[in-house]
Amino acid sequence: MKAYKIFLDTVHGYISVPNGYCGKFVDTANFQRLRRIEQLSSRSLYPCARHDRFVHSIGVFHIGERLLDTIKSDGVELDESLRQSFLIACLLHDVGHSPFSHTLESCFGSTSDLFDVYKSYLVANGIEDQSLQKLDVTQTDVKQHEIMSALLCVTTYKDAIQSLKGYPALIGRMIMGFQYIDDSKSLENCFISLLHGDVIDADKLDYICRDKWSSGYQNNSVDVERIIKSVKLYRNNEGEYSIVYLKNALYDIQSMIDNKIYIIHITMPRNK
What pLDDT, on a 0 to 100 scale, did the predictor assign at position 220?
61
pLDDT at 244 over 70: yes
Quote the number of domains for the chain. 1
Pick 1 or 101 by higher pLDDT. 101
pLDDT tens digits, one per residue of 1-39 = 569 999 999 889 999 999 999 999 999 999 999 998 877
Residue 175 · residue 86 · CB < 8 Å: no
Residue 239 included in any domain: yes
Average pLDDT on 79-94 reads 97
What pLDDT, on a 0 to 100 scale, did the predictor assign at position 207?
86
**Distance between CA atoms of 240 and 193, rounded to whole angstroms?**
15
Residue 171 included in any domain: yes
Residue 272 included in any domain: no
Specify the range with the lowest mean pLDDT, choosing from 26-30, 113-117, 211-215, 264-268.
Answer: 264-268
Q: Which of 96, 106, 176, 181 is closest to 142 using CA atoms? A: 176
Mean pLDDT is highest, among 51-55, 82-86, 268-272, for: 82-86
Structural domain including 169 reads 4-267
pTM of the complete model beyond 0.85: yes
CATH of the domain at 158: 1.10.3210.10
pLDDT tens digits, one per residue of 136-186 = 999 999 999 999 999 999 999 999 999 999 999 999 999 999 999 998 999
Residue 16 included in any domain: yes
What pLDDT, on a 0 to 100 scale, did the predictor assign at position 269?
46
